[in-house]
Structure 1
Amino acid sequence: MQLNFKEIFTAFMVLFAVIDIVGNIPIIIDLRKKVGHIQSGKASIIAGVIMIIFLFVGQSLLSLIGVDVNSFAVAGAFVIFFIALEMVLGITLYKDDDGDSMTASVFPLAFPLMAGPGTLTTLLSLRAEFAIENIIVAVISNVIVIFIVLKTSARIERLIGANGIKIIRKIFGVILLAIAVKLFAHNIKELLA
């Protein structure tokens, strides 16, 4: 097992941007107002478990349906591209906001808000490029950040303000666009070779 800090940092940043926990603070605050209390630890752990399981089982699932990782990574690049467009342009192409008081910590918080289709697609796209142990460290680091943000969401919103959150979303959106283009270019080359 060899940890590569450049890979860990890149994978962390990609996942951080796709999960968009800071951009989701308004949704988290609305959810907290609706249900009264969010189990931050439970939501974080469930999101992390979903991500790590998919990291290992996702490739087998693809093989089962006859899709290779490079094809999935190209599809993932498109998903990441559209998520980035949402962030940069401030539009909503897809967001599932349903939830009730019993399951709010799991649904929609852990899934699909944090470990949603974009995140799972990104994980397999990253797996096509990075060592699995580096991705796991990046996932765990993101779960820790998710937990901290969930615990302190009201304070963060007061501190940064609505405009601060919008600015952060746009910055990460542009970074994500660049990553989507890189992911697409790398994997399309592998497919055409």
Structure 2
Amino acid sequence: MFLVLRGVLENLGRLVLADNLFESLELNAKCLPSLRLLDLRNNRFEIIPAMIYKGILDLNAIDISQNPLQCNCKLEEFIKFANEDSSIFLNQGKTMCKAPTELAGKGIFEIDTDATNLCQRSSRLLHWIILFLIAGGCFYVYRHLRRAGKLPRMPTVFGYSQLKSNDEMNNNNNNNQPAFV
């Protein structure tokens, strides 16, 4: 983790943090009012913090290439920003997605965020979780009402009754007809 304290680097124009093992970056954008170039290439960033593309107003060059970017719902807003303002990004051909598998090896500037919903899989999972919770809640209420005696018990056997074998039918000569219960 790299931390830049407020007021220390107010005249810094270039910040090169390339070829390190950084996984995240926390800084106050107000600390870097003069920053024009931010080089974060070849680190371990999976997502790009919003402060980089929202907070640093005078930034005119960013290099995030060669990072293992997770092109999922968390990165969707950044990918939209990158595609709208691609002129400030350096090494665009080396800025690739590492995951998910269907986007692995694809450049973030090649992703059409209107056609590709990066949050879709997460929302499907959320729907299944909600459905499971509702079903579990219904089952819990049903069990509670049954134990409290507020729901009538249904018979456990469904089907025909009063069936007899052929021998019994011939011996009794009764006109017992099968009845569905």
Q: Same fold (TM over 0.5)?
A: no
Which has the larger share of helix? 1
TM-score where L is the length of structure 2: 0.23
Greater CA radius of gyration, 1 or 2?
A: 2
TM-score where L is the length of structure 1: 0.21
Which has the larger share of strand? 2
